[in-house]
Structure 1
Amino acid sequence: MTEQQRDWSSRDLVWGVKDTFIEYVSSLSDGVIAPFGGAEEFPQAGHNEWVFPFTRQEADDSTLRVEFGGELRFRGHHGMLLVILMTPWLTFSGDEATLSVVDVAAWPDMTRRQVIARGHVSWGSDTTGNTDVSVTLSLTEDAVELFNGVYAPGTALAPARLVAR
């Protein structure tokens, strides 16, 4: 059975976005980082990560798309800074993956998506023999605007992981 044929319904997405961005928003006097819609802080002390719950998956012979629910909102500067990462999807093709979110610039159309990161997939096993998945991520050119042009294309983001519930 290939990774694209596995049932990933017992896994959630854990992602820390970008440490320096988290630190920046947290340092603002009015900075807020708020999960919504089923997303929540990952309960591991000392880490800035959030869990996005599995919602569904779709696969064909060459790709696997694992969809997650929830959203994470970053606000600051009296509303001048607003980043919304809504319903992330990881799409795998071999050892490469993309991370996409709802394109909030198309609001209220929630069907349009924006690929915000690309990366390399590491397939392994945890101590119980379950498949362990980690994706190193880099910001795409299309997502530079999402972060107000602060980060250049190719900037490293936090790795994304599929974690057993």
Structure 2
Amino acid sequence: MNNHADTVPAAPARDLLPPEGLTWGVKRSFVRYLTSLPDGAVAAVEGASVLESGFFNFPPDGGSFDPAAGTGILRFRGDVRLEGHFGMMFVQIANPWIELGSGGGFLTVALGEPGEAAERIPLISFAAAVPQTIGGSLVWQGLETRLTREGSDVFNQQYGTGQEMDPLSIRLPAPDAE
């Protein structure tokens, strides 16, 4: 019997961590529906990418996070565009930010052409979560998300306020690891 294996905690496998940045699938059933349409299109540009899993990844783009308070703004860059029905259905997720407060957070997106002065709206909300420090990274994994009123408008009210969306994950270098 190997007693040593019972006393040493297993380290999380590095490949089980989300990639660096913000990773979110939006709503997998919606993306599958769009890709089934003859004119359906999914594009990731300006730094965003589509992972092998089909989820979208947005690389970090600055911000500030206070680990002690659990508050701050985490900025990401990139642009994901989902469209179909000959342009009648169009959803854009541009330069998402995570805005963290003591009671929870929001993923906000830029409206129109992304830029520093672009108007932002809260797309989804999530409950407060404390990141784990794993291998030199701050990791928020599998945060349950819900559509906001403004987010429902982005989806042309096809999904109502409070609709569960895909979980999101964030991975950033830990402040002392930078």
Tell me the TM-score range normalised by the shorter chain.
Answer: 0.7 to 0.9
Q: 1:111 aligns with which of 112, 115, 118?
A: 118
Q: Do the aligned partners of residues 120 and 34 (structure 1) sit closer, same or farther apart at CA in structure 2, a change above 3 Å counting?
A: same
Which residue of 2 is the match for residue 6 of structure 1? none
Map Cα deviations across residues 2-28 of structure 1 (whole Å, 9 max, x no partner).
xxxxxxxx9411111011111111111
Percent identity, please. Answer: 26
> Over aligned residues, Cα RMSD in angstroms?
2.5
Consecutive unaligned residues in structure 2, runs of 5 or more: 1-18, 174-178
Which residue of 2 is the match for residue 70 of structure 1? 78
The AA in structure 1 aligned to 2:40 is G
Q: Do the aligned partners of residues 94 and 40 (structure 1) sit closer, same or farther apart at CA in structure 2, a change above 3 Å counting?
A: same
CA contact (8 A) 2:124 2:146 kept: yes
Q: Are positions 1:90 and 2:114 aligned together? A: no
- Number of residues paired by the alignment? 151
Which residue of 1 is the match for residue 165 of structure 2? 157
CA contact (8 A) 2:137 2:171 kept: no
Which residue of 1 is the match for residue 138 of structure 2? 131
Give the secondary structure class of the aligned counterpart of 1:84: strand
Give the secondary structure class of the aligned counterpart of 2:33: helix
Which residue of 2 is the match for residue 49 of structure 1? 55
Map Cα deviations across residues 121-142 of structure 1 (whole Å, 9 max, x no partner).
4335366364321322100012
CA contact (8 A) 1:121 1:136 kept: no
Using the size of structure 1 for normalisation, the TM-score is 0.80
Using the size of structure 2 for normalisation, the TM-score is 0.75
Map Cα deviations across residues 114-162 of structure 1 (whole Å, 9 max, x no partner).
1011102433536636432132210001221210110010001111111
Give the secondary structure class of the aligned counterpart of 1:58: strand
CA contact (8 A) 1:121 1:133 kept: no
The AA in structure 2 aligned to 1:78 is F
